[in-house]
Amino acid sequence: MALIVQKYGGTSVGTPERIQAVAERVLKWRAQGHQLVVVVSAMSGETNRLIALATAVTADPDPRELDQMVSTGEQVTIALLAMALQSRGAPARSYTGAQVAVRTDKAYTKARIEHIDVERMQKDLQSGRIVIVAGFQGVDDEGNITTLGRGGSDTTGVALAAALKADECQIYTDVDGVYTTDPRVVPQARRLERITFEEMLEMASLGSKVLQIRSVEFAGKYNVPLRVLSSFAEGGAGTLITVDSEESMEQPVISGIAFNRDEAKFTVRGVPDIPGVAFRILGPVGQANIEVDMIVQNVAADNTTDFTFTVHRNDYRKVLSILEQVSRDVGAKEVTADDKIAKVSLVGVGMRSHAGVASQMFATLAHENINIQMISTSEIKISVVLQEKYMELAVRALHTAFGLDSVGVV
Amino acid sequence: MALIVQKYGGTSVGTPERIQAVAERVLKWRAQGHQLVVVVSAMSGETNRLIALATAVTADPDPRELDQMVSTGEQVTIALLAMALQSRGAPARSYTGAQVAVRTDKAYTKARIEHIDVERMQKDLQSGRIVIVAGFQGVDDEGNITTLGRGGSDTTGVALAAALKADECQIYTDVDGVYTTDPRVVPQARRLERITFEEMLEMASLGSKVLQIRSVEFAGKYNVPLRVLSSFAEGGAGTLITVDSEESMEQPVISGIAFNRDEAKFTVRGVPDIPGVAFRILGPVGQANIEVDMIVQNVAADNTTDFTFTVHRNDYRKVLSILEQVSRDVGAKEVTADDKIAKVSLVGVGMRSHAGVASQMFATLAHENINIQMISTSEIKISVVLQEKYMELAVRALHTAFGLDSVGVV
């Protein structure tokens, strides 16, 4: 008998019929003797409906009142799921974030969980009840309702699993697991049986948007085994996200290929190579609340340096105007910019113990006549920046070269 | 400067535009220097939408879960009203029933208020904030959300006014006050400036459905001045419902005429006139959860008695089948029943000090050739039962006879 936390997103509970289906699924797990805590989101469309109401009243709704209102979305779903379970003879009880209580700080609309009271849930579980908890929401120490920000239901699920020391946290989504890469780009992409938290973080931040990155960090920090499953397809085992402790012989070198075409690249050339120059260039960018992704610096022979970095493509114009000023201040020779780039990354913990991954990557791209503009490496990831138009070709070639293509039918 | 509790029903807050209008009205009162606590219902249609969702999931929803879900209706409205006020520069804060806290018993879907914590509201009021509270809902001592039953927002308003010792509780509705009778039946019906709690109770229970009867009882018990106002018409003074302490010279004998065509009448004839027979007849009716309204008993010469009573017309068939059994048990001669009756009642505290009201009533009806089937009197009310088809005629004739018709244009 295991204690399992399941989380169902808005699409999975989007209609009364789908809520019935979730109830059936929960009962299947219960029939196997497991204890269950179920976290649900608002029915799909509901949060947007509520926000539209707020916007109809004022262009700039107060964050406290917005949370007070938006949190009702999940409150409806938990009650409906409890009813569905009860109508099938299963004892179930729903709790809002405040009732559990999921205690957070006071950062309305993006609160962080500080503590979860588990006594009430544990008592319910011991008495045989299925516990249903509203995702995405909590309560501050004054009883004000807070929300964790969009996608926060995943975080609620993981945090509950951590607090309850659950055996597994299952995240039900509209995909049946984490894939070696986006199947829309590479039809041969394979579902991964397992992936490590670290790999998942690299995959998620690079565009494989299966899970909210915060929930993966959380799960890694508290060592909560996390499983991504389809709430529509029956019987799949999904992908288990877990610590990198059982490295098997069969561990592949590369787990997946992530990519991202939302970036823009800037190069500041001929900067005097003196201490503090990186800060003088990137400081103003950070102050403008712009997140910098990759940073590469090369020293040239003439005691100057070339400084290249990438940001989100939406910030292209803003960064350009910042750099005009900055490049004068630091005495740079020129600034070049390119918003037609893409980033492609190999991710895999196997890299740690395998040499030659980078050279195989570069050889593969060279063979396809794809020029590499920028390279950045970490312990479990190699990223390259290339012209956007080559992105799909690069991903497909690398997917095949590193043996990720599925054998037979997907 | 007064402390005023205002309550706005579902129609008054039915759209974002109407919520804006409520905000404007609240601010007008505030501009006069008053402190304000505002109670709101769910947007009209919202509670029904939620109940339909529950019904789509199960035919018999668990009451706790139903309250958990249905209470979200008001939670949305309070936040929207707070936003509307804030966007006009007024400090405002919304509270759910649980946040205030409105403490109730555990009778889900029909809970009764036991206590209201006022500290938080008082602090807000002192700091200049407008306090907005969700009507219709509370919380039990374990943190479970309860609801007070349909129309319970009026009760919330009155209970808050009592707990806060407010100067007045204003109930905004879609009518501009309490009328001498239903204007749809008597176009000359007048709005009453004042009415006593007792009169209002008699009017309400008899069909003038302006206020929830429970809230009037509550207001009477705690001596909270209650005012019924229109949330759509501007500037009207509405009707003040208050204790019968300032009986003026001009106090009319009759305040209003109530009527009700939802009843059915039963007569059990030739019942042996022995102690306990009333209970033997009405006991089984009560056990079947059927509410009995009027009861009249006449003793005949032959030591038998005729026993007549009325119930809601919906219970007609049920009562008929109960009486078939009961009349055999008590040895009655016959049972007659009539579901084509109506009840017409004169209501007025002035009756206490005026003789001849009953005879004037009977004379008026006789003059119109309307036969009286049943009479029942209380200290401030005289009710007669007559054939349903004469109801409107009776009400109009009595309205004129007792000087209630408005002078000039309504």
Q: Please write the tens of the pLDDT for every residue from B239-254.
A: 999 886 555 545 678 9
Nearest CA in chain A to B84: A57
B50 min Cα distance to partner chain A (Å): 8
Tokens for A119? 């006594």
Which of A183, A186, A155, A157 has its CA nearest to residue A170? A157
Q: What is the pLDDT of residues B174-217, one digit of tens each?
A: 888 888 998 889 999 999 998 988 888 888 765 556 777 788 88
Q: Which residues of A touch B96 (CB under 8 A)?
A: 68, 145
Highest mean pLDDT pick, A232-246, B101-115, B227-241, B344-358: B101-115
Q: Distance between CA B331 and CA B92 in Å, rounded?
A: 67
Question: For residue B82, what is the nearest residue in chain A, using CA coordinates?
Answer: A65
Interface test with B, best of A58, A129, A141 (most B CBs within 10 A): A58
Please return the burial class of A242, using the count of CB atoms within 10 Å of its CB with bins 0-12, 13-18 and 19+: buried
| Whether residue B410 has pLDDT greater than 50 | no
Q: Do A83 and B61 touch (CB under 8 A)?
A: yes
CB spacing of A16 vs B53 below 8 angstroms? yes
Among the ranges given (B23-32, B214-223, B321-330, B334-343), the one the predictor scored with the smallest mean pLDDT? B214-223
User: Is the Cβ–Cβ distance between B58 and A86 less than 8 Å?
Assistant: yes
Three-state SS at A57? helix
CB contact under 8 A, B79 and A143: no
Name the helix (H) or strand (E) containing B65.
helix B63-70
Q: Decide if B57 and A98 are in contact by the 8 Å CB cutoff.
A: no
Residue B62 to residue A76, Cβ atoms within 8 A: no
Chain B residues whose CB is inside 8 A of the A145 CB are: 96
Closest Cα in chain B to A73: B72
CA-based nearest distance A157→chain B, Å: 20
Instruction: Say if residue B101 is preceded by a cis peptide, omega within 30 of 0.
Output: yes
Are B69 and A86 a contacting pair at CB < 8 A?
no
B-chain residue closest to A54, CA distance: B80
Nearest CB among B57, B59, B83 relative to A80 is that of B57
pLDDT in tens, B350-374: 887 777 888 899 999 999 999 999 9
Query: Can you tell me which residue has the tokens 């769910």?
Result: B42
Cβ-Cβ contacts under 8 Å, B84 against chain A: 57-58
Spatial CA neighbour of A388 closest among A366, A368, A373: A373
Nearest CA in chain A to B87: A58
In the predicted model, is pLDDT for residue B400 greater than 60?
yes
**How far is C-alpha A69 from the geometric centre of its chain's CA atoms?**
26
Q: Tell whether the torsion through CA atoms of B325, B327, B329 and B331 is positive or negative.
A: negative
CB A341 within 8 A of CB A386: yes
The confidence score (pLDDT) of residue A410 equals: 40
Domains of chain A: 3-173 (3.40.1160.10), 244-410 (3.30.2130.10)
Q: Kindly state the average pLDDT of the residues B134-160.
A: 93
| β pairing state of B130-134 and B35-40 | parallel
Could you report the predicted ipTM of this complex, rounded to two decimals? 0.80
Best residue of A18, A60, A69 to probe chain B, by most B CBs closer than 10 Å = A69
Q: Nearest C-alpha of chain B: how many angstroms from A347?
A: 44
Give the C-alpha separation, B398 to B392, whole Å: 10
- For tokens 């004022």, the residue is A58
**Residue A262, token pair as written in the block:** 């939302």
> Using CB atoms within 10 A of its CB, is residue A246 exposed (0-12), middle (13-18) or buried (19+)?
exposed
Alpha helices in A222-304 (DSSP H): 277-287
AA letter at B65? E
Is the CB of A20 less than 8 angstroms away from the CB of B57? yes
A173 contacts A230 by C-beta, under 8 angstroms: yes
Mean pLDDT to the nearest integer, B232-238: 82
Bin B171: left if φ > 0, else alpha if -120 < ψ < 50, else beta: beta
Residues of A in contact with B69 (CB under 8 A): 75-76, 79-80
Side chain identity at residue A33, one-letter code: G
Q: Please, are residues A169 and A161 in contact by the beta-carbon 8 Å criterion?
A: yes
Residue among A59, A68, A79 whose CB faces B79 most closely: A68
Whose tokens are 């910019």? That residue is A337
Nearest CA to A161 among A205, A83, A102? A102
Residue A12 to chain B, least CA–CA distance (Å): 15
Q: Print pLDDT tens along chain A (410 aa).
A: 899 999 999 999 999 999 999 999 999 999 999 999 999 999 999 999 999 999 999 999 999 999 999 999 999 999 999 999 999 999 999 999 999 999 999 999 999 999 999 999 999 999 999 999 999 999 999 999 999 986 799 999 999 999 999 999 999 988 888 889 988 899 999 999 989 988 888 886 655 567 777 888 889 889 999 999 988 877 788 999 988 655 554 567 899 999 998 899 999 999 888 888 888 898 999 889 898 988 888 877 788 888 899 999 999 999 999 999 999 988 899 999 999 999 999 999 888 777 788 889 999 999 999 999 999 888 889 999 999 999 999 999 999 999 999 865 44
- Identify the three-state secondary structure at position B28: helix
Cβ contacts (< 8 Å) between B82 and chain A: which residues? Answer: 62, 65, 68
Contact B69 A59 (CB under 8 A): no
Pick from A144, A277, A114: nearest CA to B94: A144
**A407 Cβ contact list (under 8 Å, min separation 6):** none
Å from B135 to nearest chain A CA?
15
B376 vs A234, higher pLDDT: B376
Q: Measured between CA atoms, how close is B168 to chain A, in angstroms? A: 27
Nearest to A83 among B58, B93, B143 (CB): B58
Which residues of A make CB contacts under 8 Å with B?
16, 19-20, 50, 53-54, 56-62, 64-66, 68-69, 71-72, 75-76, 78-80, 82-84, 86-87, 93-94, 96, 98-99, 143-145
- Beta-carbon separation of A87 and B60 below 8 A: yes
Task: Return the SS3 of A395.
Answer: helix
Beta-carbon separation of A69 and B56 below 8 A: no
Which of B53, B78, B93 shows the shortest C-beta gap to A76? B53
Q: What is the pLDDT of residue A253?
A: 82
Q: Best interface-test mutation with A: which of B49, B51, B83, B131 has the largest number of A CBs within 10 A?
A: B83
DSSP 8-state assignment for residue A254: -
| DSSP assignment of B105-124 | -S-TTS--EEEE--HHHHHH
What is the number of CB-based contacts under 8 A between chain A and chain B?
Answer: 105
Give the gap in angstroms from C-alpha A151 to the nearest C-alpha of chain B.
21
Interatomic CA distance for residues A378 and A384, integer angstroms: 12
Q: Which residue of B lies nearest to A143 if distances are taken between CA atoms?
A: B99
Residues of chain A with C-beta less than 8 angstroms from the C-beta of B94: 65, 68
Chain A hits for B46, Cβ within 8 Å: none
Report the candidate in B128, B153, B101, B180 with the shortest Cα–Cα distance to residue B1.
B128
Angle ∠(B303,B305,B308) on CA atoms, nearest 5: 180
Residue of A nearest to B145 (CA): A99
What is the spatial distance between Cα B274 and Cα A236, in angstroms, rounded to a whole number? 77
End-to-end alpha-carbon separation of chain B, Å? 33
Question: CB–CB of B138/B44 below 8 Å?
Answer: no
Chain B residues touching A16 at Cβ < 8 A:
53, 56-57
